[in-house]
């Protein structure tokens, strides 16, 4: 109970002008939490991408300022019930592909890579660890976002996967780079080409998900992970640094792959676009079936249980 009380009293909303990302700072545990709630669909809108990037810069600035409390962990989560993130804005993709606007497609891809890269390299701060908390479906770019965390925690029953192959495309914002580093590139290609949605339990067995939590207990799993790591934090961070040396994440690599993705997207045919639109329609229907809970209320409920 003392630990839970400490969490409740130390959680502070961070002051910013974000509209699709609500952030909190847990001073007691030195955690910055970010809850995504994009509108009208829980996908990566340009606004959400800008706010995720700004959040990364805010945390980096806080770490570098000796007068500010330190941040040891940043956690990306979602306040939309049943959905972590549906990934790229497929409506936007379809419009830009049909009109042949390569430059704008490339700009969107770069906007996706900017926060993803910073998250993957823990803002280039050796004392920071990024954690992805998945408590709902993570599809396409949503799965890529989850994979970019140094640690991926997912609740049982959540579905994660890359449906892009169903409309004749591939996930081009880090999927192969990030997944391949976890399970090997041959297995990563099999997962991507299958178009399947995998249960968190399956991905945990493969080594993709690091920590498997019970439904509704994701936040507590985050705290338990941090509590356990505290005992050997120096060694854990040193090991992470060694892995960074062995398997570095290159910004240039990610951007070159987005060029391949843009070219492939512009080769899609009318039937592929129709499939993309049907997927958007299904996802929109599922998202609207469970109204998004205001992030402030959601976080308050989660940390006062």
Confidence band for 120, pLDDT divided at 50, 70 and 90: very high
Q: Under a CB-based contact definition with an 8 Å cutoff, are residues 44 and 116 in contact?
A: no
Give a yes or no: residue 221 inside a domain.
Answer: no
Is residue 159, in this structure, part of any structural domain at all? yes
- Report pLDDT digits (tens) over 246-260: 999 999 999 999 999
Please, which pLDDT band fits residue 237 given cuts at 50, 70 and 90? very high
14: tokens are 């961070």
Give the domain extent around 277.
12-215+232-290
Report whether pLDDT(2) > 90.
no
Q: Please tell me what DSSP assigns to residue 248.
A: P
Q: Does the pLDDT of residue 303 top 60, yes or no?
A: no
Averaged pLDDT, 166-187 = 97
Q: What's the pLDDT score for residue 5? A: 38
Residue 298 included in any domain: no
Buried (b) or exposed (e) across 260-294, using 16+ Cβ within 10 A?
A: ebbeebeebeeebbebbeebbeebbeebeeeebee
Q: Is residue 299 scored above 50 in pLDDT?
A: no
281 vs 36, 275, 278, 295, 304, CA distance in Å? 21, 10, 5, 24, 36
The domain that holds 143 is classified in CATH as 3.90.226.10
Q: pLDDT band at 4, cuts 50/70/90?
A: very low
Report the C-alpha gap between 165 and 3 in whole angstroms: 45
State the Cα–Cα distance between residues 25 and 41, nearest whole angstrom.
Answer: 26
Count structural domains, the chain. Answer: 1
Residue 6 falls within a domain, yes or no? no
Residue 225 belongs to a domain? no
Instruction: Enumerate the β-bridge partners of residue 36.
Output: 21, 78
Taking residues 170-185, report their average pLDDT.
Answer: 97
With a pLDDT cut of 70, the percent of the chain lying above it is: 89
How far is residue 35's CA from residue 189's CA, in Å, rounded to a whole number?
A: 30
pLDDT at residue 290, as a whole number: 59
Q: Is residue 202 part of a domain?
A: yes
Confidence (pLDDT) at 282: 81
pLDDT of residue 280: 83
In a domain, 60, yes or no: yes
Mean pLDDT of the chain: 91
Question: Mind listing the pLDDT tens digit for each residue in 7-34?
Answer: 434 566 667 789 999 999 999 999 999 9
Nearest CA to 128 out of 202, 73, 84 is that of 73
Q: Which pLDDT does position 18 carry in this prediction?
A: 96
Query: What is the model's pLDDT at position 34?
Result: 98
Q: Do 28 and 10 form a contact (C-beta atoms < 8 A)?
A: yes
**pTM (2 decimals)?**
0.90
Instruction: Please give the C-alpha separations between residue 256 and each of 98, 271, 302, in angstroms, as whole numbers.
Output: 23, 27, 40
Scanning the structure block, which residue is given the tokens 């590139």?
Answer: 185
Q: Is residue 301 part of a domain?
A: no
What is the share, in percent, of the chain residues with pLDDT greater than 90? 84
Average pLDDT over residues 263-289: 87
At 209-218, the pLDDT tens digits run 999 999 999 9
């Amino acid at each position: 109970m003392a630990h839970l009380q400490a969490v409740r009293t130390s959680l502070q909303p961070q002051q910013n002008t974000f509209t699709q990302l609500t952030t909190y700072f847990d001073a007691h545990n030195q955690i910055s939490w970010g809850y995504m709630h994009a509108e009208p669909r829980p996908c990566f809108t340009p606004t959400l991408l800008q706010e995720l990037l700004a959040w990364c810069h805010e945390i980096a600035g806080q770490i570098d300022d000796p007068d500010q409390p330190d941040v040891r962990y940043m956690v990306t989560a979602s306040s939309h019930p049943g959905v972590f993130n549906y990934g790229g804005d497929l409506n936007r993709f379809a419009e830009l592909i049909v009109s042949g606007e390569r430059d704008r497609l490339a700009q969107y891809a770069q906007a996706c890579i900017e926060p993803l890269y910073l998250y993957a390299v823990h803002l280039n701060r050796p004392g920071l660890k990024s954690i992805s908390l998945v408590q709902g479906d993570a599809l396409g770019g949503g799965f890529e976002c989850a994979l970019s965390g140094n640690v991926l925690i997912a609740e049982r029953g959540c579905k994660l996967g890359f449906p892009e192959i169903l409309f004749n495309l591939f996930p081009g914002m880090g999927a192969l780079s990030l997944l391949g580093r976890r399970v090997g590139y041959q297995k990563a290609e099999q997962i991507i080409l299958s178009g399947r949605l995998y249960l968190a339990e399956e991905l945990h067995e493969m080594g993709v998900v690091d920590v498997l939590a019970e439904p509704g207990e994701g936040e507590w799993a985050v705290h338990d992970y941090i509590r356990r790591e505290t005992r050997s934090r120096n060694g854990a961070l040193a090991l992470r640094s060694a892995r960074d040396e062995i398997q570095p994440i290159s910004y240039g690599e990610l951007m070159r792959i987005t060029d391949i993705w843009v070219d492939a997207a512009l080769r899609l045919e009318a039937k592929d676009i129709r499939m993309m639109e049907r997927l958007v329609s299904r996802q929109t229907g599922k998202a609207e079936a469970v109204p998004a809970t205001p992030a402030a209320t959601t976080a308050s409920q989660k940390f006062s249980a």
